[in-house]
Amino acid sequence: MRKVYGGWIPLVVLCLGVAICAVPASAQPVDSFFDVFFEIDVPGELAQGGGDGWVDPQTNEGPWFRYDQGPVNDPPVPGVPWWWNQWFRNEDYKEGNRKVVSMGFDLWAPAQGQAGELWVTLNWSTPDYSIGNPDSEFAPPMPSEEAYIRRLDPMYFTYNGTQFTMQGPPGLGDVSLTQLSTNGGLHVEWDLMLPVDYNPEWLSIDVFGVNSAMSGDIFHDCVMVPEPASLSLLGLGVVALVLRRRKCLR
């Protein structure tokens, strides 16, 4: 069974053939892999995780980093004392451009018959992190630099011992859910454009959970916005990336 939340992207697809050239994307969108496995008995303790996100070249730490508090300018999420972040870089900070994202992942519970939950969201670096910072291309904002991070409202999933369900959709974008045939899991597709009028230099997937595991990929790209920009043209940037990502996964 497939459920869809949102629904504006299919409408934009209707005009894709007419206006796709109006919103060209960069030649090299980033396609990245991630996975994460949370301990069964200890909420938020990362048992194992991987991916091709940023790794500190000095300490070899990563690609998952613990951020003990939410961004100073965003309200905390109830039930989430910290986040695990994995960072990806696409292009330099670009004022007036936009960041489009297409993400897909499988979600399942390692321990059948036990309750579980998972929060998933995205965050990004602010302009102040990149402007005047010659080192911004080499590393994302660290936990001590929360002032340079913004975060979307998260998706929230719960597991009742037999099946995962989404209790709260994200604050932005379109989400589709497909039940997996084993382990009461879900396949999740999330397509969106970040709600800021610039392309952030760094993008992160953020997770927190218990008795939950996920594995997936994330495509993201910097989109040039024409003048005067319209909502329909901006939406084409998301559609183009979604189609490119899903073509690559076939």
Distances (CA, A) of 29 to 207, 221, 225, 247: 23, 5, 16, 13
What is this structure's pTM? 0.82
What is the rounded end-to-end Cα distance, in angstroms, of the chain? Answer: 21
pLDDT at 210: 93
**pLDDT per 10-residue tile (average), the chain, 250 residues:** 56 30 51 87 87 95 86 68 91 92 94 93 95 95 92 93 91 91 91 94 94 94 68 48 47
Q: Residue 68 has what pLDDT?
A: 81
* Residues forming a β-bridge with 123: 151, 204
At residue 187, the pLDDT reads 97
Distances 171 to 153, 155, 163 between C-alpha atoms, Å: 5, 8, 23
Other Cβ atoms less than 10 A from the Cβ of 89: the count is 20
Burial of residue 236 (CB within 10 Å: 0-12, 13-18, 19+) is buried
| Residue 244: alpha-carbon gap to chain centroid | 17
